[in-house]
Each structure stands twice: as C-alpha cells, then as structure tokens.
Amino acid sequence: MKEDDWRVLKIIEVSMRYYEWVPLPEIIKKTKLDKKEVLYRLKILDKFKLINRSSYGYRLSHKGYDALALNAFIKKGIITAIGGKLGVGKEGDVYNVLLSNNREAVLKFHNLGRTCFTRGKRYRSYLADKRHISWLYASRLTAEKEFEVLSDLFPIVKVPEPIEQNRHALIIGKMEGDELKRVDLNQLDIDINKLFWDIIDEVKKMYELGYIHGDLSEFNILIDEDGNFLIIDFPQAIKIKDENDIKLKLDKLPGEFKVNTEYYLKRDLENILRYFKKYGIKEKLDVVYKYVVGK
Ligand SMILES: Nc1ncnc2c1ncn2[C@@H]1O[C@H](COP(=O)(O)OP(=O)(O)O)[C@@H](O)[C@H]1O
Ligand SMILES: [Mg+2]
C-alpha cells in the first residue's frame, strides 16, 4: 500500500467520529486529492477489505482498523515481522510477532463488536456510563485499559511485559507455555501445592497494588514445562481504589452495573480453587480470601 492509501484510510478513521458512513465529498475535501485519485485509492482499500461501502459512503472495517495499528507499529520500528496466530480470543486475535531487537512478542487485538457487543459492555463497568460508543472507540479503550493495568502490575506481579500500544492493539511480552487448562500438572516435575500458593500470592500482590483480575481461571494462566507461570488477559480488571467512584457514578443504574470487589475477588479465587481441587488441593475459599485481603 502507498502512502496515499494509508492517508485515505486514516481520514476515514478520523471521520468516523462524526459519520456512520463517511461521504465521498468529505473524503475528497479532507485528503485534498482529486476525486479520481480518491476513488482509485478507495478501490484498493476495498480490494483489501480494509473498508466497507454503502450508498451513504465508506467506513473502516475491523480489518482496516487492525491494519492501521499494525502499520503504526511497523512505522515506529517496533516490530519487523508478524507470525502465526497464537489464539482466537473472545474479542480479538493474538499473534506472534518479532520485535526489532529480534525478541519474540505477542500482538493482541481487541475487537469489540465483532461478536455480541452488549454482552461485553455489561461486564465492563468502565464503559457503562458512555452511551452510543462505537466499536472503534470501545476497542481502543479496552486496549488502553489492558495496557495501563499491565503497566501498573509489571514487573511486580507475574504478568506479560507491556511493550507498546496503539489504537485497539497492544504488544506484550511472550511466554513460551500453555494455558493451565491444557496442561496435566502431574506430568510436570513440580510441587503442585507450591504452585497453587504461588498463584494465590500473585493475586495477593495484585490486590495490594489495587487490582482484581476479574476473569481469572485456568484459561488465563500460562505455564511452561518448569512450572513458571504468567497471569494474562486484563481488560476486565477492577481497580479497587476506583470502586467507590464507580459506585457513586453508577448509583442510578441497575444493580448489575455496580462493582463489588469482594464478589469478583471471590469468583477469581473460586475458579482457582475449583481447578486445583482435582489435584488434591482442598483449601477453603474464606481462608484463601482472608489471606489475600490480609485479614
Ligand atoms: N503473553 C502471552 N504469551 C503467550 N501467549 C499468549 C500471551 N497472551 C495471550 N496468549 C495466548 O492467546 C490467548 C488469548 O489471549 P488472552 O489475553 O487470554 O485474550 P482473550 O482470552 O480475551 O481472547 C491465550 O489464551 C494464550 O494462548
Ligand atoms: Mg483469555
């Protein structure tokens, strides 16, 4: 793609703040290119499926938004290559990438609205007071939030290193390992009881730094053959010191919008307890909860 193709794409991106479908005259006006040139560029963007078109005009596609973020990382000299998909997430895909220093890393896209958006909106309290948000805005907000949480936690808590963020995408450190869900701990040469308490200790550190994961389970913990682990996937993390603010702001909204840290922390711990039960760990939720909150 040529510089002018990117320019047209960026104009469409920016204009989506005001239009659901950006009219052709608007694109012509903002790019300062002539009509023939703009139509030619639009044809290229359409061929690559980076835009959608209707009789009203043009809009950015999810793929187009991905391309803009990816291009930004490349132009900034952060990444030099993109590899295979590591996973297809609930709300975005995760890829292997090569950083310019030859280190491998992970590129995670947040694509809200590709699946059912209302579901995503409900459990993400920080979006609750924003009405009429586009998937574009919501996806970027989610990536920004995940990056912010990782920046607050890394390297004190075992979470991926936050490397870079642009639009709805983030680049984070990579862990060579598998989801706890897909690993048989009995096949590893590790002390399972110690692993359990090591994970709880990370939850405790997170809590002391003011966060609750909010979606902790065997799907969001990666582990390698030596038993080293990493907690991932933070877009729904709950910032404890915001709890009262959120409660105030959301007081007039239905109960489901209210954030209850005890509820979310216990749910996280319950998931961990349930997973480790089959390995003979029989700790009580209340005991583990009190340990984490320091009572
Ligand atoms: N830092 C990482 N290192 C290695 N693999 C990762 C990393 N982050 C994510 N993955 C892989 O991608 C999958 C999806 O990522 P995750 O952050 O859990 O997003 P979501 O579950 O919301 O789609 C993970 O289950 C894991 O297999
Ligand atoms: Mg996950």
Gap between the Cα atoms of 50 and 204, Å rounded: 43
**How confident is the model at residue 144, as a pLDDT?**
97
3-60: CATH topology: Arc Repressor Mutant, subunit A (1.10.10)
**Can you give the pLDDT at residue 246?**
54
Tell me, in angstroms, the distance from the centre of ligand 2 to residue 109's CA.
12
User: pTM to 2 decimals?
Assistant: 0.89
The correct CATH number of 178-293 out of 1.10.1740.10, 1.10.510.10, 1.20.1090.10, 1.20.1050.40 is: 1.10.510.10
Can you spell out the DSSP letters for 188-210?
SSS-HHHHHHHHHHHHHHHHHTT
Q: What is the pLDDT of residues 112-124, one digit of tens each?
A: 876 444 444 444 4
pLDDT tens digit sequence for 26-69: 999 999 999 999 999 999 999 999 999 999 999 999 999 999 99
The answer, yes or no, to whether residue 256 has pLDDT greater than 80, is no
Whether 237 shows a pLDDT value over 60: the answer reads: yes
Tell whether ligand 1 has an atom less than 6 A from the beta carbon of residue 16.
no
Q: Which fold has domain 77-173?
A: Phosphorylase Kinase; domain 1 (3.30.200)
Cα 250 to middle of ligand 2, angstroms: 27
- 236-242 long-range contacts, CB within 8 A, separation 24+: 236/123, 236/124, 237/145, 237/146, 237/149, 237/211, 237/212, 237/213, 238/125, 238/211, 238/212, 238/214, 238/264, 239/149, 239/210, 239/211, 240/207, 240/210, 240/211, 240/212, 241/210
pLDDT, one tens digit per residue, over 3-16 is 999 999 999 999 99
Nearest ligand to the CA of 93 is 1
Cα dihedral sign for 118, 120, 122, 128?
negative
pLDDT of residue 206: 98
290: left (phi over 0), alpha (psi -120 to 50) or beta: alpha
- pLDDT, tens digit, for every residue of 137-182? 899 999 999 999 999 999 999 999 999 999 999 999 999 999 999 9
Give SS3 for 283. coil
* CA nearest neighbour of 209 among 286, 285, 143, 155: 155
pLDDT class for 20, splitting at 50, 70, 90? confident
Q: Do domains 3-60 and 77-173 have the same CATH topology?
A: no
All structural domains of the chain with their residue ranges: 3-60, 77-173, 178-293
Q: Which structure tokens are listed for 99? A: 């950083």
- In three-state secondary structure terms, 266 is helix
The answer to whether the beta carbons of residues 212 and 237 sit under 8 Å apart is yes
- pLDDT at site 128: 43
State the catalytic residue, choosing from 66, 184, 189, 215.
215
Rg of the chain (C-alpha set): 22
Give residue-wise pLDDT tens across range 190-201. Answer: 999 999 999 999
CA of 233 to the centre of ligand 2 (A): 5
